[in-house]
Amino acid sequence: MGSHGDEVRVRTARIADAEAVLAFWGVAAEGVSISDDRSGVTALIERDPQALLLAERGGELVGTVIAGFDGWRCHLYRLAVHPAHRRQGISTLLLAAAEKRFAELGGRRGDAMVLDRNESAHQAWTSAGYAREQQWSRWVKHL
């Protein structure tokens, strides 16, 4: 990845990162979620301190993924890379870290929430070895 200053590092998020993560998602994520507020991000980190993974380059946040495990399934959300840093392997690094976490927890299969209209994301997920399963639909009820 070029010089040492260009190296991308992946780490787990801390409560102090919540505002920066929310601002980052405003720029880099596709769409918004009902949980996109400080209390939502804080609750995630408090409940599972290893779930929110951040990619940083030179101290700058350049990517995120949520790698949630509920004891049964491995769920991936919010894979996002800053537009200026795309196509540089950052999503690959984030997914590798998420998959390592899942394997260590005994997870057997990862599933991802990907918007149907997000064609560039489809390419990233496909190249990472994920495939759409047409027989499933997402069912939602807001609480």
Strands 74-81 and 60-69: antiparallel
Strands 110-112 and 52-57: unpaired
pLDDT in tens, 99-110: 999 999 999 999
Which one is predicted more confidently, 78 or 5?
Answer: 78
Q: What is the pLDDT of residue 3?
A: 47
The residue behind tokens 């997870």 is 107
Where would I find the H helices in 1-143?
18-28, 38-47, 90-105, 119-127
d(CA 125, CA 5): 27
Q: What is the pLDDT of residue 4?
A: 52
State the average pLDDT for the chain. 89
pLDDT in tens, 56-95: 999 999 999 999 999 999 999 999 999 999 989 999 999 9
Q: What is the pLDDT of residue 1?
A: 43
CB 54 within 8 A of CB 8: no
Q: Which residue type, as a one-letter code, is found at position 102?
A: F
The mean pLDDT of 127-139, rounded to a whole number, is: 87
Q: What is the pLDDT of residue 2?
A: 46
Distance of CA 134 to the CA centre of its chain: 22
d(CA 62, CA 59): 9
Flag whether pLDDT at 139 surpasses 80: yes
